[in-house]
Amino acid sequence: MHSLKYDDAAMWDTVAGQGGVTKAEWRAMIPRLREADRSLARLSRGKQGWISPGSAKDPWVKEVLAQAKKVRGSSRGLLVIGIGGSDLGARALLQSLGDPSKGVWLDVLSNPDPEYIAAKLDDAKEWLKETAVLVVSKSGMTLETMAIFSLVREKLKALKGDKHRSQIYVISDPNGNPLHELSKSEGYNFIPHALNIGGRFSILSSVGLFPAACAGIPITRVLKGAQDRSLKNAAQRFAALHTLAMATHGQGTHVLMPYSNALETFGDWYRQIWAESLGKNGKGPTPLAALGTIDQHSQVQLFHDGPNDKAYTFISVEKPRRDVRLPASVNRIMPGLGGKKLSEIMQASYKGTATALSGAQRPHGTITIPTISPETVGALAQFFMLATAYTGELMGVNTFDQPGVEAGKIETKRLLGLV
């Protein structure tokens, strides 16, 4: 059984009218798609390690599991300090799959907002003594991360003295950057950041999977879902259709709308990987995260009646992990609603919104997963990473650099007198 299915019927002109992709446009895209496939095959041979997901047999996976077991055995919680790709993947995995009964609690500090950080540190004595601290920075010099880590580290040292060392875990490039050197000199627990995996593609590496394993998430099952061979063809179609929607039909805003609260943060993760990978050289799509059914009552008015400059993707969950049936008493307010399940309301809401968009000739597709599980979440992550890489190839941009981000970092450091 496949971990997900991608239905693109409403991306075509047969449903979306002039805003949909035509068969002629698709035929012209095929040679470019084949070249993109050859390019990714070359990248998979070492340069981009995420293309071939790990498995339970890999040494790095065994190391992650061993370190996570140590955290679960010695701490009540894990504080993750990172930003962007260093924390969004862990957040997405935690929200979708976390179970407090099976692992430690997780919290994340990413934004150096003084009011928020100060409030966290004020009551650190109550929780930090029994909390493991994970700092994630591939370069070892991420400004925001190092600032927050320095504050937490000093607070932990004040509480525990030399014993603080056993509670600190570091994920970074193992090639001698300042954070790596600090880790070695202090004797912190060190987990290498894969050299051939960039931050925003690191959700299925130690960066995303170590915090997930600490939270009791079965990460080998997540990786198994990412190995679904059907993902490649689905991701190719998604990439080609969205490239055509953007380049040929002016639909440069790409909306991802899961109908599940558990996948809300996954939308934030998608927004980063789509924007930071594809916004290059004066072109690129604008990703927009939405959530069903909530955004039916805010953004869907724009989606349905606003400019036809967007392509939409729904994520539908066929069977929830838990369900609730409405009491008969609700019939006094809405006759006929009693006895129905909340899952029926979610499904009807998704289908109703999709049908309405079809009626308005707005291009859209649906990713359907059987349920939310480690396998399906792993498949979703791998699907969107592959779709991002294929889209970058079809656009003719370097998916894996981030010159705009680096320019901002340099200017920020100049303003702080650090360069």
- Asked if 273 and 385 count as a contact pair (C-beta separation under 8 A), the reply is yes
Active site residue: 157, 304, 351, 409, which one? 409
The verdict on whether 276 is a catalytic residue reads yes
Active site residue: 57, 115, 126, 297, which one? 297
The verdict on whether 364 is a catalytic residue reads no
Residue 5, helix vs strand vs coil: strand
Question: Cα–Cα distances in Å, from 210 out to 18, 65, 134, 277, 386?
Answer: 47, 7, 9, 24, 22
Question: Cα–Cα distances in Å, from 320 out to 41, 137, 262, 292, 371?
Answer: 36, 35, 10, 14, 6
* Token pair in block for residue 162: 């030399």
Q: How many CB atoms lie within 10 A of CB 1?
A: 5
The beta strand positions in 121-185, using DSSP E, are: 131-136, 168-172
The verdict on whether 304 is a catalytic residue reads no
* Token pair in block for residue 381: 């992550």
The conformation of residue 167, written as its DSSP 8-state character, comes to G
The conformation of residue 19, written as its DSSP 8-state character, comes to G
Q: 103: Cβ–Cβ under 8 A, 6 or more apart, which residues? A: 72, 213, 214, 215, 216, 217
* Token pair in block for residue 119: 């409030």
* Token pair in block for residue 407: 């320019």
Residue 307 falls in which region: left (phi positive, over 0), alpha (psi -120 to 50) or beta: beta
Active site residue: 25, 144, 276, 393, which one? 276
- Asked if 96 and 217 count as a contact pair (C-beta separation under 8 A), the reply is no
Bridge partner residues of 107 (DSSP): 79
Residues carrying an active site annotation = 276, 297, 409
